[in-house]
Amino acid sequence: MAEWIEVAKTSDFQLTDRKLVDLGGHQQIGLFKVGSDFYAVSAWCSHQKTTIITGDIEACEIECPLHGARFDLKTGRHLCLPAVKPIASYPVKVEGDVIYLKADR
Ligand code: FES
């Protein structure tokens, strides 16, 4: 059952635009700030088992650093080859200074 989980503070993003959230198991999630909005997607590329957490971000798209597949940070949708599958995306909400994402525990 998915539930809202406190994962960060907005102040954590004063010097960075991303944070790795490790919920254990297969749930390593990248939390990204684009403009004033926050997005959460799987930290793992759907092409091969490598992390996208360090990928370049442009126009709310993140590029996998290994082979260059791009994913929409809003939806997890794959936007180009070599990825042929999306990555998981997670709802995010901000209340005051606290950032929550909705995921299974
Ligand atoms: S591992 Fe990400 S595009 Fe290949």
pLDDT tens, position by position, 57-93: 999 999 999 999 999 999 999 999 999 999 999 999 9
Query: From atom 1 of ligand 1, which residue's Cα is the shortest distance away?
Result: 48
- CATH number at 7 reads 2.102.10.10
Give me the domain span that covers residue 34. 2-104
| pLDDT, tens digit (0-9, with 9 covering 90-100), for 3-27 | 999 999 999 999 999 999 999 988 9
The count of domains in the chain is 1
Dist CA 101 CA 90 (whole Å): 6
Dist CA 87 CA 79 (whole Å): 11
What is the best residue among 44, 62, 66, 81 to mutate for testing ligand 1's pocket, by most ligand atoms within 8 Å of CB?
66
**What tokens does 40 get?**
């959460």
Residue 84 in contact with residue 77, Cβ under 8 Å? no
Question: How many CA atoms, within 13 angstroms, populate the side-chain half-sphere of residue 40?
Answer: 24
Dist CA 81 CA 71 (whole Å): 10
* pTM > 0.85: yes or no: yes
At 103, which amino acid appears?
A: A
